[in-house]
Amino acid sequence: MSEAQRSQTTPRLESAGSPELTTSPQPASADAMAAVVAPQYGTSAVLRTEVVDRPNPRVDEVLVRVRAAAVCQGDVHLLTGKPYLLRLGFGLRRPKDPIIGHDLAGEVVAVGRDVTEFRPGDTVFGSVNSGAFAEYVCVSSRRLAATPAGLTIEEAAALPDSGMTALQGLRDTGGLGAGQSVLINGASGGVGSAAVQIAKALGAEVTAVCSTRHVEAVRALGADQVIDYTTEDFAATDRRYDVLFDLAGNRSLRDYRKVLAPKGVFVSSAAAPDADWIGPVVWMAKVMLANLFTSRRLAVLLMSPRREDLEFLAELAATGKFRPLIEKRYPVAQAAAAVQHVADGHAQGKTVLAI
Ligand SMILES: NC(=O)c1ccc[n+]([C@@H]2O[C@H](COP(=O)([O-])OP(=O)(O)OC[C@H]3O[C@@H](n4cnc5c(N)ncnc54)[C@H](OP(=O)(O)O)[C@@H]3O)[C@@H](O)[C@H]2O)c1
């Protein structure tokens, strides 16, 4: 959430009362809005809708009327406050930016003085650090792009976090190019389902790892081979890959290294799931240390949102090379159920909210 929102978006009415968000309060005036709020850290049961002040854009921000939002694992981290280390930034005792949500698509309502790229009425998509599960949100103009032709508003909302993570992981960190081979571990989730399509668009040969339920969906995204991890172990074959993009964090570094070609690159986007306290820090240290003792390259990805990447992804979408996979859609009144579905860790593709 921006500084502007932090100072100007404050809860001002009683909560709707239902943790399941079965009722949504109506904004009382034009400068109020409804938002999905986590007043404390916890499970999806702490989420509720509240009426809060509508934010005002700073000079470099755009006020967007949110039409759709997508749930990502980052929302789950914000909600649970785990790994605990994150609370140094999120708020020690409770979330200091209580409106959750990263990914959104909607219409521009107003722009800050320095914004020249967007005008009221434009349809845009992008990401914020928090605040997307609300009727309005202020977004830095550097984290927005025009919605691509051919995508629904829900598909556009499903694109930013997963699309940029997959793009930066494969193209920038992995250096994946035409004719190379890539193994995607966790290929059926939000990032994985984007990664399969982006890797194909980059000209790579894709081997995707997922569970039985998702095999057909992942094949339909364009994967050349699909490994069902419930019946086959990708680390137990002789196959070697130029890039391994890991989104599951469920194997040892030894296993990951084993399947890399001699000059291969391991891109880690997920820390071990038991990393409650300092989370990815231990994992990052392990990866950096292991790097010193191998000809392969081992890297930990930290996605950084930027407009150029949103535009690159929009172009892929406009040319039919990338379409976010959406398994489930929820009305905003069921935001808690949507977040829980993602928190459970086995969603297929993206989970979206209509706002
Ligand atoms: N580094 C960054 O900047 C960054 C940015 C975004 C996300 N992330 C991280 O990247 C990871 C993936 O994110 P996401 O949005 O794709 O999450 P997601 O939508 O929840 O997907 C997770 C996927 O992991 C799969 N999975 C679970 N256990 C598995 C196993 N044993 N073997 C293979 N796959 C397994 C699940 O598939 P099944 O249902 O088939 O088990 C599911 O599809 C998360 O850890 C997230 O926190 C990092």
Q: What pLDDT was estimated at residue 5?
A: 42
Measured in Å, residue 98 CA sits from the centre of ligand 1 at 24
Measured in Å, residue 167 CA sits from the centre of ligand 1 at 15
Q: Is the shortest distance between the CB of 342 and ligand 1 below 6 Å? A: yes
Interaxial angle between packed helices 190-201 and 307-318, expressed in degrees from 0 to 180 and rounded to the nearest 10: 70
Q: Is the shortest distance between the CB of 268 and ligand 1 below 6 Å? A: no
CA torsion, ordered 194, 197, 200, 206, to nearest 10 deg: 70
Q: Which one of 71, 73, 127 would you pick to mutate in the ligand 1 pocket, going by the greatest count of ligand atoms within 8 A of its CB?
A: 73
Reduced to 3 states (helix: H, G, I; strand: E, B; else coil), residue 139 is strand
Q: CA–CA separation, 114 vs 101, rounded Å?
A: 25
How much is the average pLDDT of 81-89?
91
Q: What pLDDT was estimated at residue 165?
A: 98
271/320 same-domain check: no
Measured in Å, residue 89 CA sits from the centre of ligand 1 at 23
205/288 same-domain check: yes
Residue pair 209/184 in contact (Cβ under 8 Å)? The answer is: yes
Q: Is the shortest distance between the CB of 347 and ligand 1 below 6 Å? A: yes
Q: Which alpha helices (DSSP H) does 1-136 contain, by range? A: 3-8, 73-80, 87-90
How much is the average pLDDT of 158-181?
98
If pLDDT is split at 50, 70 and 90, which confidence band does 20 have?
very low
User: Does 2 score more than 70 pLDDT?
Assistant: no
Measured in Å, residue 261 CA sits from the centre of ligand 1 at 23
**CA 41 and chain centroid, separation:** 20
In degrees, rounded to 5, the angle at the alpha carbon of residue 142 between the alpha carbons of residues 137 and 144 is: 55
Q: Which protein residue's CA is at the shortest distance from atom 18 of ligand 1?
A: 189
129/226 same-domain check: no
Average the pLDDT over each of 11-25, 91-105, 206-220 and give the range with the smallest value. Answer: 11-25
178/286 same-domain check: yes
Residue pair 317/150 in contact (Cβ under 8 Å)? The answer is: yes
Q: CA–CA separation, 307 vs 125, rounded Å?
A: 10
Tokens of 292: 């010193």
Q: Is the shortest distance between the CB of 75 and ligand 1 below 6 Å? A: no
Q: What pLDDT was estimated at residue 277?
A: 74
How much is the average pLDDT of 229-242?
97
If pLDDT is split at 50, 70 and 90, which confidence band does 11 have?
very low
If pLDDT is split at 50, 70 and 90, which confidence band does 12 have?
very low
If pLDDT is split at 50, 70 and 90, which confidence band does 29 have?
confident
Q: What pLDDT was estimated at residue 13?
A: 32
49/198 same-domain check: no
Q: Is the shortest distance between the CB of 214 and ligand 1 below 6 Å? A: yes
Burial class (CB in 10 A: 0-12, 13-18, 19+), 282: middle
Q: Is the shortest distance between the CB of 162 and ligand 1 below 6 Å? A: yes
Q: CA–CA separation, 107 vs 153, rounded Å?
A: 10
If pLDDT is split at 50, 70 and 90, which confidence band does 275 have?
low
User: Does 231 score more than 80 pLDDT?
Assistant: yes
Pairing assessment for the beta strands 350-354 and 61-71 based on DSSP bridges: antiparallel
For residue 147, the 8-state DSSP code is P
User: Does 19 score more than 70 pLDDT?
Assistant: no
Q: Is the shortest distance between the CB of 269 and ligand 1 below 6 Å? A: yes
Range(s) of the domain holding residue 296 = 163-300
> Residue 253's domain is classified under what CATH number?
3.40.50.720
Longest Cα–Cα distance of the chain, Å, equals: 64
Q: What pLDDT was estimated at residue 28?
A: 59
310/188 same-domain check: no
> Residue 21's domain is classified under what CATH number?
3.90.180.10
Measured in Å, residue 244 CA sits from the centre of ligand 1 at 14
Secondary element (H or E) of residue 170: none
Q: What pLDDT was estimated at residue 26?
A: 62
239/260 same-domain check: yes
267/317 same-domain check: no
Cα separation values, 321 from 33, 169, 272, 315, Å: 36, 18, 31, 9
Q: What pLDDT was estimated at residue 111?
A: 98
How much is the average pLDDT of 257-270?
96
Q: How many percent of the chain have pLDDT more than 70?
A: 91
How much is the average pLDDT of 260-274?
87
Q: Is the shortest distance between the CB of 185 and ligand 1 below 6 Å? A: yes
Q: CA–CA separation, 335 vs 21, rounded Å?
A: 7
* pLDDT tens readout for residues 160-170: 999 999 999 99
> Which of residues 300, 318, 340 is at a domain's end?
300
CA torsion, ordered 169, 174, 177, 180, to nearest 10 deg: -120
If pLDDT is split at 50, 70 and 90, which confidence band does 203 have?
very high
148/17 same-domain check: yes
Measured in Å, residue 208 CA sits from the centre of ligand 1 at 13
Q: Is the shortest distance between the CB of 168 and ligand 1 below 6 Å? A: no
101: left (phi over 0), alpha (psi -120 to 50) or beta: left
User: Does 16 score more than 70 pLDDT?
Assistant: no
Structural domain tally of the chain?
Answer: 2
Measured in Å, residue 322 CA sits from the centre of ligand 1 at 19
pTM flag (> 0.85): yes
* pLDDT tens readout for residues 32-43: 999 999 999 999
**CA 326 and chain centroid, separation:** 13
141/178 same-domain check: no
Q: CA–CA separation, 113 vs 26, rounded Å?
A: 30
Measured in Å, residue 78 CA sits from the centre of ligand 1 at 16
36/157 same-domain check: yes
206/59 same-domain check: no
Tokens of 202: 């980059």
Q: What pLDDT was estimated at residue 6?
A: 40
Question: What would you report as the CA-atom Rg of the chain, rounded to the nearest whole angstrom?
Answer: 20
User: Does 318 score more than 50 pLDDT?
Assistant: yes
Shortest-distance atom of ligand 1 to CA 168: 3
